[in-house]
Structure 1
Amino acid sequence: MDEILLVVILIGAVVLLATERLRADVVAMVVLCALVLLRILEPRQALSGFSNPATITVACMFILSAGLQASGVIHALADRLLKGSSASPTTVMLMTGVAIAPFSAFINNTAAVAIFLPLVLRASHSRSISPSYLMMPLSFFAMLGGTCTLIGTSTNIIVSSAAAEHGQPGFGMFEFSKLGLIVLLICGAYLMLIGRHILPERIKAETLTEGFHLNSYLSEVEVLDGSPLIGQTVVEARIGDAYNLEVLGHVRDKQMRNVMAGHGALLAGDILLVKAQAETLVGLGERAGLAVRPSRRHSDSDLRPGDTVLLEAVITNNSELEGRSLKAVDFRNNFGATALAIRRGGEDLLEKIGHVRLRLGDELLIQAPRQNLEKLRNQRAFLILQELDLPTLDVRKAVLSGSIIAGVVAVAAFGIYPIVSAAIAGAVLMVVTGCLNVRRVYREVDWVVIVLLGGLIPLGIALETTGAAADVADLILRLGGQMGPHVALGLFVLLTAVLTGAMSNNATAALLAPLAIQIAVVLDVDPRPFLVALTFAASAAFYTPIGYQTNLLVYGPGGYKFADYFRVGAPLTVLYVVLVTWLIPMFFPF
């Protein structure tokens, strides 16, 4: 009976994770509750995911990555490398891969892409290259780089921990580096030689106003004599709410100011720059005493007078804005900025954007007073992509944080201490040496991932203790006939690649680790090739934007549609699956 219940829970979890009906961490907690309430696991077993070495190590790696990031050294090195490249899109793509792959082998991939995003966008704009040519390769190179070391991605750590718990030796720091480098070079060659011809030009190398198609919604209106708005400021008059439009600028004596500063109370003859639909403008004369001026084509400079900046931003993981609308969070007052447009799935949303529920990867076009830049720089709800200066390089912190990470790598590589012990020590040193303050430590840990692992690792334990994993392994082998280990490995790699594209890489690794070991047991071969296959295939989410957080981060800035990932990523996934299936037995014999 337990086995049947467990299969139902497993199918339900996969469906919920794939359809995103609930957040991944919520799904993990639902699974955990079901395992306890149905008495499939004892509470001690059910809670063991939170004390699992993989969960602790992953949390520590977030802190180690943040320490290096805070020093500014990654920004400085990456910016110098990208500035030195030529104006050719192919060269910039190559330099992007050369820059991010080494970093993503040692720090969290999402953090690496978040650091590189503004720098690559700056490089693309300065060379008049469409961001669509560079954003997807940026994510893919980070994913490929993460497969080269044990700490390159959290899936490697999860699988290594699972191996140790089943009596297998954990992975060494550089145990699959040769394999990872070969896959990186071959897949990188695909991106450079074939992928670049398939990548669409969703966003042209143009101004932000043109890129977000704002011109058709921007108009100038003049305050007429006798207008009921005279004597009130733009904020006091609540023009936006009353007349269903957005006021973006207040012009007097040919000088434009942002709405929050303004020129004080409105006077007859003042001009307002507004974003509104044509039908909204028709009744303004009678209702508000405003006259629409002759239309002209507006540019970025109209939206960024001397005291105002125009910014692009992308909704990041763990954002307080995810699942909420701009109106619900009172965006203008809480963030001191105005959202002008939302880009999602290659489409620019311009109408009634205040009521749109935001998603991870959505890109916002924001107008803000220059005095609010520091506030925007320090918030955690979205990542600013432009306009802000690079973090100042702190040489002392760069040396300390770099030495700490190098020490963690060396201690784990030489087997002096397990990776979890080295990672904990490194995280503590980041705080003790002043590389990070305690408050930032708590901010930098991706708690969604931690809760996800805490809830799904026990599901893997239950699959094994109830015998469900053995039954699934038998089913896979029966479907393939009396196949040898090479065919079984290929089917397992394919299954993992399909699941990781629909769910997340961490969930896939946590669920399939017991299955990988059980398939090897049934075939009476060494489990290591199947475990290595899981680490690589769980990072094969090239064909969909939802399987890997880095894909979602570049979704909006690249202006991509969902199908673009399949068009570029599906051939890459096929190449990746074939390569991994062919190469793993050479490095890890059965």
Structure 2
Amino acid sequence: MTSDQILLFALFAGVLSMLLWGRFRHDLVAAVGLLCGVSLGLVPEESAFSGFSNPAVMIVALVLIASRAFENSGVLGLLTKLAANGKRPVGIHIAIIGGLAAALSAVINNVAALAMLMPIDVQAARSARRPPGQTLMPLAFATILGGMVTLIGTPPNIIASAIRAQQLGEPYSMFDFTPVGVVVAVCGVLFVALIGWRLVPHRQDQPAELDPSSFVAELLVPKDSKFVGRVGVELNDEAEEADVLLVGLIRDGKSHGRSIRAKTIRAGDLVVVEGSTDAIAAFIKAADLQKAEQDEANEADPGETGGSSIENETDGDTVENDDDRDPVTRGPEVVEAVVRSDSYLVGRSAASIGMRPRFGITLLGIARAGSLSHEQISGRAIAAGDELLITGRAAGSPEVLDELGLVAVNRVSVARFNPKNAALAVSLFAGAIAIATVGYLSFTVAIAIAVAAYGAFGLVPAREFYSQIEWSVVVMLACLLPLGVAFEQVGGTALIANSIAELTQGHSPVLALVAIMVVTMTLSDVLNNVATMVITGPIAIDLAQRLGANPDTFLMGVAIAASCAFLTPIGHKNNTLIMGPGGFSFSDYWRMGLPLELIVLVVSVPTLLLVWPL
């Protein structure tokens, strides 16, 4: 190995180790890795920021904006109604909502697809009195499977297309992924609907306090509360009626445990209770708690209260807008939301967030992976996948939830169906695909024109353009692409491909295809799938060329494998999102994920050989 190869292998090892550790933001790790590569002379200075001009980076950003246009038009809200029924048998419910999730993920961002369908699935589970995790994991996996169907369904496909354009001279078209992707997605959804959900840990043998829908919440006693000056035991009637448990009292930062019943309540005390979201909301109203903040909500401008969101009833039969209900009779708005992995709240303590002065909301409680902690909320660091219980004038505002990086669980936030806007959104998107398919314009330019039209017609307000883009993913991809090019130019890709070719020498190239797909799946379970594809894509092409095989077979194979992050909660953002509502631990995912990955291999390899012959 040359000195440049040794340095670049060491640099990649460092970058991958930091990504795996997860202590620092992925985009920051990638940027530091790129700057180190430039400083060491491994990446030419003039190519340092070439990744930002790569079509793959633009497509990732543009597709996210296009997804928002579909949401704002209401067409997705109409589709989600089809799944809003908690009375169906589990298998049929999963087949319907999973099939819808896979179809949506083929054309919009799969995180957005899960964010829309997860509240419906959770409410259906609670209505049917079954554990939400029983159907949430199949739903999350279905959104990942659906992303394999088209070019824009998932970042690995977009990167595979960019790698093909760079090394073979032509990118993939929109539907080149469809023949293999559809077969894999259909087989995967059938598995999770018929068998997979039975493998999910139900946690039915655990005590009630570990119910993923329960919280330990801290509720402020305002100065004009009717309980100020009275003994805590007088809260018992309201607590029993609301079905919450009085856990303790916090005064001047000191916890007094269950001695609340003997304490005289003062203004500014925090009453600690345990119960479900609805029970805590009922207790706040009955016990006259958080009243000061509710008065602020009534005085606030209606546009700040999140009235554009839609709340789905638990029976799944009706959908109504919050603005249609009397805010007084409705009681305090309490929202249950999950922390996304890219949320700026991750790693921060509740005390350092400043939710109320900045956003007009108060953090009541935190639940993590179905476990409840009686540690004071103010001193607890928030992690990706945590469930937060929040209240306040803007607790249900989609804009505020987006800014905080939260996904609501107990409410559906999609626009009402508008036939004109829906037709416009679909026609512009279909037109962009048609123009790109016939070769008149590249897909990047075609989708950019569609996105510009979305802005011109008001389907995506100007203020939402930049907020919808996951800048961390864009920056990470733009920084990793030059490193990937440098890795190939110094011979790193050739070394790895040659090693795999030697190990499989004398055997069919199919064995090498399976080997690199297994390696890619393993990496994707612990690394970001963008990083995984940047590394394994060029290796797949080099390996195929050494074996005299079709490069497309191998590149398509690793694109499928890079999307198969089913074994851990960190392999994909959707796996992280369901961790809190489903009450999952780190080791729960492999129970359904491992057989699903085996099914993907068994199904995809023969299909690849049929569609893209060696």
- Please state which band the TM-score falls in when normalised by the shorter chain: 0.7 to 0.9
**Quick check: 1:91 aligned with 2:87?**
no
1:431-442 counterparts in 2 under 5 A? 431-442=455-466
SS state of the match for residue 83, structure 1? Answer: coil
Aligned to 2:401: 379
Aligned to 1:580: 604
> What is the CA-CA distance between 1:268 and the residue it aligns to?
5.0
1:98-497 counterparts in 2 under 5 A? 98-202=99-203, 211=212, 213=214, 246-248=218-220, 250=221, 259=222, 262-263=224-225, 266-267=228-229, 275-276=247-248, 279-282=256-259, 299-300=279-280, 301-305=282-286, 307-366=331-390, 368-369=391-392, 371-373=393-395, 375=397, 378-380=400-402, 381=404, 382-387=406-411, 390-497=414-521
Structure 2 CA distance for partners of 1:102 and 1:577, relative to 1, 3 Å: same
Output the TM-score relative to the length of structure 1: 0.85
Whole-angstrom distance in 2 between the partners of 1:292 and 1:54 = 50
Structure 2 CA distance for partners of 1:402 and 1:347, relative to 1, 3 Å: same
> What is the CA-CA distance between 1:87 and the residue it aligns to?
2.7
* Deviation per residue, 1:120-144 (Å, 9 max, x gap): 2222223323211111111111111
Whole-angstrom distance in 1 between the partners of 2:177 and 2:270 = 66
Unmatched 5+ stretches in structure 1: 219-245, 251-258
Whole-angstrom distance in 2 between the partners of 1:336 and 1:589 = 59
> What is the CA-CA distance between 1:103 and the residue it aligns to?
1.1
Contact in 2 for aligned 1:496/1:534 (Cα 8 Å):
yes
* CA RMSD in angstroms, aligned pairs only: 3.1
SS state of the match for residue 322, structure 1? Answer: coil
Structure 2 CA distance for partners of 1:348 and 1:542, relative to 1, 3 Å: same
Whole-angstrom distance in 2 between the partners of 1:85 and 1:349 = 30
Contact in 2 for aligned 1:132/1:203 (Cα 8 Å):
no
Contact in 1 for aligned 2:247/2:258 (Cα 8 Å):
no
> What is the CA-CA distance between 1:583 and the residue it aligns to?
2.3
Whole-angstrom distance in 2 between the partners of 1:89 and 1:48 = 49
Output the TM-score relative to the length of structure 2: 0.82
Structure 2 CA distance for partners of 1:49 and 1:197, relative to 1, 3 Å: same
Contact in 2 for aligned 1:82/1:123 (Cα 8 Å):
no
Whole-angstrom distance in 1 between the partners of 2:549 and 2:462 = 47
Contact in 2 for aligned 1:203/1:558 (Cα 8 Å):
no
> Which one is further off, 309-318 or 531-540?
309-318
> What is the CA-CA distance between 1:286 and the residue it aligns to?
7.8
> What is the CA-CA distance between 1:275 and the residue it aligns to?
5.0
SS state of the match for residue 351, structure 2? Answer: coil
Structure 2 CA distance for partners of 1:55 and 1:73, relative to 1, 3 Å: same
* Deviation per residue, 1:212-266 (Å, 9 max, x gap): 555xx68xxxxxxxxxxxxxxxxxxxxxxxxxxx334x5xxxxxxxx4x954894
Question: What is the one-letter code of the residue matched to 1:276?
Answer: G
Aligned to 1:60: 62
Whole-angstrom distance in 2 between the partners of 1:304 and 1:137 = 36
Aligned to 1:72: 74
Whole-angstrom distance in 2 between the partners of 1:286 and 1:579 = 65
Structure 2 CA distance for partners of 1:345 and 1:286, relative to 1, 3 Å: closer
Contact in 2 for aligned 1:542/1:566 (Cα 8 Å):
yes
> What is the CA-CA distance between 1:365 and the residue it aligns to?
2.4
SS state of the match for residue 542, structure 1? Answer: coil
Whole-angstrom distance in 2 between the partners of 1:84 and 1:14 = 43
Question: What is the one-letter code of the residue matched to 1:113?
Answer: L
* Deviation per residue, 1:387-437 (Å, 9 max, x gap): 466533333322222212111222222222211111211221111121112
Whole-angstrom distance in 2 between the partners of 1:330 and 1:350 = 21
Structure 2 CA distance for partners of 1:89 and 1:47, relative to 1, 3 Å: same
Aligned to 1:221: none
Question: What is the one-letter code of the residue matched to 2:447?
Answer: A
* Deviation per residue, 1:130-186 (Å, 9 max, x gap): 211111111111111111111111211111011011134321221231221211222
1:535 pairs with 546, 550, 559, which one?
A: 559
> What is the CA-CA distance between 1:48 and the residue it aligns to?
1.0
SS state of the match for residue 333, structure 2? Answer: strand
Whole-angstrom distance in 1 between the partners of 2:518 and 2:376 = 43
> What is the CA-CA distance between 1:354 and the residue it aligns to?
2.1
> What is the CA-CA distance between 1:210 and the residue it aligns to?
6.2
**Quick check: 1:500 aligned with 2:524?**
yes
Aligned to 2:293: none
Whole-angstrom distance in 1 between the partners of 2:200 and 2:537 = 34
> What is the CA-CA distance between 1:35 and the residue it aligns to?
1.2
Structure 2 CA distance for partners of 1:48 and 1:296, relative to 1, 3 Å: closer
> What is the CA-CA distance between 1:473 and the residue it aligns to?
0.8
**Identity between Structure 1 and Structure 2 (%):** 31
Structure 2 CA distance for partners of 1:376 and 1:471, relative to 1, 3 Å: closer
Structure 2 CA distance for partners of 1:189 and 1:387, relative to 1, 3 Å: closer
Whole-angstrom distance in 1 between the partners of 2:74 and 2:270 = 48
Whole-angstrom distance in 1 between the partners of 2:611 and 2:123 = 40
SS state of the match for residue 276, structure 1? Answer: strand
Whole-angstrom distance in 1 between the partners of 2:16 and 2:342 = 21
> What is the CA-CA distance between 1:511 and the residue it aligns to?
1.6
Question: What is the one-letter code of the residue matched to 2:248?
Answer: A
Unmatched 5+ stretches in structure 2: 240-245, 250-254, 287-328
Question: What is the one-letter code of the residue matched to 2:400?
Answer: N
Structure 2 CA distance for partners of 1:413 and 1:340, relative to 1, 3 Å: same
Whole-angstrom distance in 2 between the partners of 1:524 and 1:98 = 38
* Deviation per residue, 1:175-203 (Å, 9 max, x gap): 23122121122222221222121112248
Contact in 1 for aligned 2:524/2:564 (Cα 8 Å):
yes
SS state of the match for residue 195, structure 2? Answer: helix
1:568 pairs with 581, 586, 592, which one?
A: 592
Aligned to 2:44: 42
> Which one is further off, 203-212 or 429-438?
203-212
Whole-angstrom distance in 2 between the partners of 1:418 and 1:76 = 31
* Deviation per residue, 1:69-91 (Å, 9 max, x gap): 12222022212x11357431112
> What is the CA-CA distance between 1:478 and the residue it aligns to?
2.2
Whole-angstrom distance in 2 between the partners of 1:309 and 1:175 = 47
Count of aligned pairs between the two proteins: 547
1:12-23 counterparts in 2 under 5 A? 12-23=14-25
SS state of the match for residue 352, structure 2? Answer: coil
